[in-house]
């Protein structure tokens, strides 16, 4: 669990398992290609603000100035980043 108890009884943080050992399986949210422009429309319909931008290698959607949805153009992998708040879970569920 990342903790060890020292001889004096204090708790010491231990190294975590190697990334290969703690990697969680990917969860597919769609059986087709997800377009961030379509996601933007859905997020706006939910009453949130969304800004779309495209960059070299990826495109991203910034929702309410704090949630970032990033799509890698080569692999199609989508990452959702931001604070664990109501907006985060709303965006993730769309």
In the predicted model, what is the mean pLDDT of the chain?
76
- How far apart CA 18 and CA 9 sit, in angstroms, is 26
Averaged pLDDT for residues 41-56: 87
pLDDT at 16: 62
Read off the pLDDT band of 92 (50, 70, 90): confident
Read off the pLDDT band of 13 (50, 70, 90): low
Residue 31 has pLDDT above 80, yes or no: no
Long-range contacts of 47-53 (CB under 8 A, 24+ apart): 48/87, 48/90, 48/91
């Amino acid at each position: 669990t990342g903790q060890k108890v020292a001889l004096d009884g204090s708790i010491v943080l231990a190294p975590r398992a190697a990334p290969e050992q703690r990697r969680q399986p990917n969860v597919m949210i769609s059986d087709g290609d997800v377009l961030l422009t379509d996601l933007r429309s859905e997020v706006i319909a939910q009453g949130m603000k969304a800004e779309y931008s495209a960059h070299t290698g990826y495109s991203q959607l910034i929702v309410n100035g704090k949630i970032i949805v990033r799509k890698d153009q080569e692999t199609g992998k989508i990452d959702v980043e931001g604070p664990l708040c109501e907006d985060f879970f709303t965006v993730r569920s769309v």
